[in-house]
Amino acid sequence: MKVVLMDRGCWSFIIEDKPCPEQATEKEKFEYDWRKQRCYTTIYQGIERKFLPLIRHTTDGKEAWNILKTNFEPTSKARLAVLIDEFFELKFNPVEETIGIFCKRVDEKKTQVKEAGFEIPELLIALQLIRRLPAEYDHLVQTLYRLKDEEFNHREVEKQLVNEAGRIQLKQKDLNLDYTENAYTVGSFRLQETRKKSSERSGAVLDPSRNPGQYRKIHYPKGMGPSCEFCSRKGHDASKCYKKQNKEKKQAFVSETSFCGTNQAFGVSTDWNHFLIDTAATSHFCYERDWFKNFKELKTTKALLADKKSTCQVEGIGDIDFIVQDIKGNVKITLKDVFYTPNMRRNLISGARMDIAGLKIIWSNNVMRICHSNNEYFFSAFRRDMFYIVSGYPLLDSVMYTIVDLNLIHKRLCHINIPIIKDMCKNKSVKGLEKVNIKIDNESCIACNVGKATRTSLKKNYVYKRVTKSVLDKVHMDLWGPAPVNSLGGSKYFLSIIDDFSRKIDVFTLKSKSEVFSIFKEYLSRVQRELGRKLKSVRTDNGMEFCHKDFETFLRNLGIKIERTSFYTPELNGIAERFNRSSMEAVRTMLQDSGLQPRFWAEALHAYVHTKNRCSHKLTEGKTPMEIWSGHKPSIRHCRAFGSLAYVYVPTVNRNKLQPKAKIGILVGYAVNRRGYRVWLPKERKVVESINVKIDETKNGVKTLFGKVKQYDYAIYQLDQNLNNDSDYRAQDEKSSSPEKPSSLEISTWIRLEKPRKKSKRIDVYYYPPSKERLRSINDVKMYCEKNKLEFDPNQFNFKPTKTNTRFEEKSECHNETSSDSVDEASCVNDIFQHEIYMTKIPKTFKETQISPDKEKWDEAMSEEIKLMQNRKVWDLVEPKSNMKVLGCRWVYNIKHDEKNIVKKYKSRLVAQGFKQRPGVDFTDVFAPLVNFDIIKFLFVLLVCILGWNHCQIDVKGAYLYGNLDIPIYMQQPEGFVVKGCEHYVCRLHKSIYGLHQSGRQWNIELSEILFGLGFHQNELCNGLYTKINCILLVYVDDIVVFSKSQSDLENSILNIKIKLEITDLGPVRYLLGVNFERIGDSVYLHQNTYINKLKTRFKNLPRRRITLPLKVSCILLDRVKENEIIETELMRQIPYKTLIGCLSFIANRSRPDIAFAVNTMPQFCNGYTYHHWTIVVDILNYVFNTMYYKINLSNTHNTRLTK
């Protein structure tokens, strides 16, 4: 940018702001104003569009320059530290740069550090130049270290390095020349032959009067000169005749262009073999049958050997393509009319046949050089043990011209129907199907038989007629979903758009139905620009994703005709419906064949569409959709079988010299926006796109990586139920002509619960079906059965209570159950209770609160939070500036419960998006002390149980909002509470709102000042502990526990705190930090029943068993496996191993020492667990569930002496 400004004569306005002289002429004033405006426009046009708002408010070039410099080159200490680190990390790379460029990089980095406010000493700059040089510079480095201090500067060091680099470069050049001259013994011969070849093509001849290797060209008049013996024309001889040279290429030896590359790339054998050049042999001989092509059997021919009596049977004759490993590289030769003699010991090349073919043989220095008749070098044979041997390998006919198996093509094309592939072969619709054997069928494809099983068709003679005449005349659209499992990207639906004329398919995976409209607009703009045509008509069903007002208005404004299906007739959108069925059949087949999990359905779908667009259709007259759409015949040579083992090349910049050069993965599709494949890397759990992929179709990726192919029961996912869209569901549900027969009701799967009321002796009776709905009366049961089409029998239900026991007696029954293999009824009932309490849906966004059944409660909670912030004067509204860093914010919602799991209040909290804060700029220190829970237990034992002190728990309302900010921070206005008339204003924060990095520290500083003013002293060893005469405070963020010797002192302390802070007196401690403190009589008990109940609800799908010990006696723990060998079931993925370990560790550390050993043993398998380890952890959790009423008696202090 600086160079551009200098080129345009505008840099002077940046370095100094000189006004136009008063005595200047009008022309000079005009030129001054023009250059000043050009200074600003040059900067404006030179930066990216996203940075334009920074300088949009100004028109002065210098001011715009300073704004950009402030934002991108600040002089803060944080940036200075980064620049200094970058300076000392500079390293010379001799492969990519010269020593001069490296010195320039060091000088530029030094300048950047200087502009940031710090000047690096001259000594450090000179040392950095020589600190990381290659070994070739060691001698110079030792010399530089001996320089005097006044001579040791970066300019002198740079000069010496440049001189040394020139010397090293010259030395390497000399070494390379020597190596080139001695690399081959025939190097000079090759150079001479190359010159001869070039000169002879131009009509030049060797002139002996000139220096060796120099030629002069002789021009003959038309019709004059020597006569050619081959073509009878004048002006050239037979050695320069092009007709003869072209014919020679078809003789016994055929030379082709040399090629290099891996053997795999050309499909050849890698075993090196030999031919002997025999000048006495009358024919070529070979004993390898697999090397031949154009082979013909011979029965009566025999070869006479040298002793005139011995013969060798000749069983056939043919041609052989052979790759010679020559000094010039790989050269292909073709041997014609080679005899197949399996009993001969060596393969022979006939010297006589070579002579007949017009080749010349030159012997010198143990090397036989074979040249063409024009002395052009062909290849060489080297003498070994008195034989001249031609080393190389055969270009096997069976590899180069293999008849491709139809089943393999069937897999590569994502299990497309076999008749379509046969039609494509006959019509030559694509490139890559030239050698396919179409005589076999796909009856052996088990995956197709499993995934595509259908009923017998009732419309065998139905033929669809295409009425459109060009692409984009009409498109068919449909939405499929929701899928039973989310895809890798979290998608639940896919939108299919099919062109009626070409049958080209485009699919888009969606996370919600609301994305349909935006996806269609993107599709429309892309295809219309791609084809230069306008879309004329759209056909959809009556789904609300297509029928809403915005969609219809958009289509009408563009003049696009809207076609809808009639009600209850989804067949009218049959093209899209049929694709949904075909695509899901293909997806099931591909997943079944590959062994991949159902969450790969989107990857399989995209791979299927990629190949489907390259396969012909019965209505496209032998052409493929891609050819009709683009006008070019597509190729399928790149297609590979879905789920094959793949090796992805790792670029050099992403690995070191000792790491592998490739990663193993599973092929899951083809890249969309670039050339390449999509490969799933199980170890990294991600999909990568790369063109540098080697695919082994002979190996299944899942079987190779995990030891076996995972076969899944697809019935549990009910994929068949998703073959139709939502409109199809409605059509099926509303059909009254064929009512379905109600299913039988299995009352054994229902749960009956008698629930006593709190303040009366009445007992309510509820029934819970498998769907966990609570039915309160016989009418509720009847409505449920009608809704779910179940047979209703009122005699099976009894809503009269059968027992009068209390809730305590009900809990005792839970304790006394001894079932060993299944879940007891009381445990199931308790799960349902917890499900009702905890599974109330908590909204994640403001929009969800507005459609929530508890909208009024959430609105009240948010209004209360805003009112609290207004009373605390948390922010002021200010007008934003261009260079102002503005943070976002969002609402966070929660439902608070007490120790009995009763809902206390709906809580809304406004949280700033502190992840956008910059360390060193928007915040510095963030540490805030917390009290350890072990200290809490110790003080309860000492003060409450032994000394009998009183205690109370208080909660500070909006604690963080008391902290003052010392750095200005700006935030957007909260959603739903934007001030009218000031919509573009932002909030200038004065208090430490939740979400900021420094909020916890600022609150702790404010609390400490308040407590110091009240006479409390902070403990030096535990900063969360404050003491005063007869009073102790424990602080854990906004939860404060007060201990006092007397009740009056306790009340006075709370009253003094209440004067300074807005607090809530919660009374004696009952539930603190996930732990219950329960007083029964004179004893205090500690347990975690509330937290364990939450876990029972959270892990309700875990198998339940009656476990009596955390670890079984003589339990054997299997060895850990490698991380990439971990095999998980669907339930293990839903409830991860590490999650269970974390929950159990929290319980063991707080209240359950009986499981401490078992819990501390199992984390060692976190990175290498098996199903065996996972079941042990589940058993530990079941033990906790079965003994959830175990409690620690803190009052049992009869033996508290530590020493005798």
Q: Are residues 1015 and 971 in the same domain?
A: yes
Note whether residue 1056 is domain-resident. Answer: yes
100, pLDDT greater than 70 = yes
Q: What was the pLDDT predicted at 193? A: 44
Please name every residue paired with 695 in a beta bridge, in sequence order, or none if there are none: 646
Select from 633, 651, 671 the last residue of a domain: 633
Confidence at 804, pLDDT banded by 50, 70, 90: low
- Give the residue-averaged pLDDT of 293-317: 80
Please tell me the predicted confidence (pLDDT) of residue 647.
95
Q: Is the confidence at residue 815, as pLDDT, over 80? A: no
- pLDDT over 70 at 699, yes or no: yes
> Band of the pLDDT at 991, cuts 50, 70, 90?
confident
Each residue's pLDDT tens digit, 875-915: 889 888 888 888 889 888 888 777 666 777 888 888 888 88
Of 99-108, 109-118, 251-260, 550-559, where does the model show the most confidence?
550-559
- What pLDDT, on a 0 to 100 scale, did the predictor assign at position 264? 28
**Predicted local confidence at residue 392, as pLDDT:** 83
Q: Which of 122, 148, 172 is the last residue of a domain?
A: 172
Mean pLDDT of 108-130: 84
Mean pLDDT, residues 637-661: 91
943 located within any domain: yes
Highest mean pLDDT among 354-358, 525-529, 1044-1048: 525-529
- Indicate the pLDDT class of residue 136, thresholds 50, 70 and 90: confident
Question: Are residues 963 and 1013 both part of a single domain?
Answer: yes
523 found inside a domain: yes
Average pLDDT over residues 834-846: 62
Question: 417, exposed or middle or buried, with CB in 10 Å at 0-12, 13-18, 19+?
Answer: middle
* Final residue belonging to a domain, choices 172, 191, 211: 172
**Which residue did the predictor score with more confidence, 451 or 532?**
532
Euclidean distance between CA atoms 528 and 511, whole angstroms: 26
921 and 972 inside one domain = yes
Residue 189 inside a domain? The answer is no
Whether the pLDDT of residue 857 is over 60: the answer is yes
Burial class (CB in 10 A: 0-12, 13-18, 19+), 1204: exposed
Distance CA 605, CA 1203 (A): 73
Say if strands 537-540 and 475-480 run parallel, antiparallel, or are unpaired: parallel
Q: How many domains does the chain have?
A: 8
* Cβ(629)–Cβ(504) below 8 Å: yes
Residue 1040 pLDDT more than 60? yes
The SS3 of residue 495 is strand
Residue 455 in tokens? 């009923």
User: How sure is the predictor about 719, in pLDDT bands with cuts at 50, 70 and 90?
Assistant: very low
**Domain match, 1014 and 943 both:** yes
What integer is the mean pLDDT of 97-124?
Answer: 84
pLDDT in tens, 377-400: 888 888 887 888 888 888 764 444
532 and 486 within one domain: yes
Q: pLDDT value at position 919?
A: 81
Question: In this prediction, what percent of the chain has a pLDDT beyond 70?
Answer: 79
Q: Averaged over 28-32, what is the pLDDT? A: 81
Q: What is the pLDDT of residue 254?
A: 40
Residues 881 and 947 in one domain: yes
Residues 1147 and 1186 in one domain: yes
**Are residues 473 and 515 both part of a single domain?**
yes
579: DSSP letter: H
Distance of CA 911 to the CA centre of its chain: 29
680 and 757, same domain (yes or no): no
Query: 611 vs 747, which has greater pLDDT?
Result: 611
Burial group, residue 299, by CB count within 10 angstroms (0-12, 13-18, 19+):
exposed
pLDDT of residue 469: 87
Span 236-244, average pLDDT: 69
| Residue 825 pLDDT grade (very low, low, confident, very high; cuts 50, 70, 90) | very low
Report pLDDT digits (tens) over 519-569: 999 999 999 999 999 999 999 988 888 888 889 999 999 999 999 887 767
- 3-state DSSP percent of the chain in helix, strand and coil, to 5: 40, 20, 40
Does some domain include residue 567? yes
Model pLDDT, residue 1203:
45
Instruction: Tell me what percent of the residues of the chain surpass a pLDDT of 90.
Output: 12
Could you tell me if residue 257 is inside a domain? no
Per-residue pLDDT of 909-939, as tens digits, reads 888 888 888 887 778 777 778 788 888 888 8
Asked if residue 188 has pLDDT above 50, the reply is: no
Report pLDDT for 192. Answer: 43
**pLDDT given at position 748:** 55
What pLDDT is recorded for position 643? Answer: 93
- Judged on CB neighbours under 10 Å (0-12, 13-18, 19+), 1128 is middle
> Which residues make beta-bridge pairs with 391?
274
- Comparing 591 with 901, the larger pLDDT belongs to 591
How high is the pLDDT of residue 398?
Answer: 43
Q: Please tell me whether residues 1040 and 912 are part of one structural domain.
A: yes
CATH number of the domain that 779 lies in?
Answer: 3.30.890.10
The boundaries of the domain holding residue 1019 are 846-1073
Q: Do 866 and 755 belong together in one domain?
A: no
Give the residue among 1098, 1199, 1118, 1097 at the shortest CA–CA distance from 1161.
1118
- Whether residue 1101 lies inside any domain: the answer is yes
Give yes or no for residue 184 having a pLDDT over 80. Answer: no
pLDDT at 645: 94
Task: Report the CATH number at residue 295.
Answer: 2.40.70
**Element containing residue 767 per DSSP (H, E):** strand 763-768
**According to the model, what pLDDT value does residue 790 have?**
77
Residue pair 1152/1186 in contact by the 8 Å Cβ criterion: no
Q: How much is the pLDDT for 67?
A: 80
| pLDDT > 70? residue 274 | yes
Least confident span in 234-248, 317-331, 384-398, 550-564: 234-248
Is the Cβ–Cβ distance between 1099 and 1135 less than 8 Å?
yes
H or E element in which residue 226 lies: none
Average pLDDT, whole number, for the chain?
A: 77
Residues 780 and 767: their CA atoms lie apart, in Å, by: 10
Distance CA 12, CA 6 (A): 8
Whether residue 526 sits in one domain with residue 619: yes
- Residue 456 pLDDT level (bands cut at 50, 70, 90): low
List the alpha helices (DSSP H) in 691-818: 701-706, 726-734, 778-787, 807-816
Phi, psi of 840 (to 5 degrees): -60, 125
Question: Which CATH number belongs to the domain containing residue 474 in this structure?
Answer: 3.30.420.10
Between CA 437 and CA 602, with CA 582 as vertex, the angle to 5 degrees is 100
pLDDT exceeds 60 at position 680: yes
300 three-state secondary structure: coil
What amino acid occupies position 634?
Answer: P
Query: Mean pLDDT, to the nearest integer, of 287-299?
Result: 84
Whether 208 is in a domain gets the answer: no
DSSP E strands: which ranges in 222-353?
A: 273-278, 284-286, 292-297, 302-304, 311-313, 316-326, 329-340, 348-350
pTM for this model (two decimals): 0.37
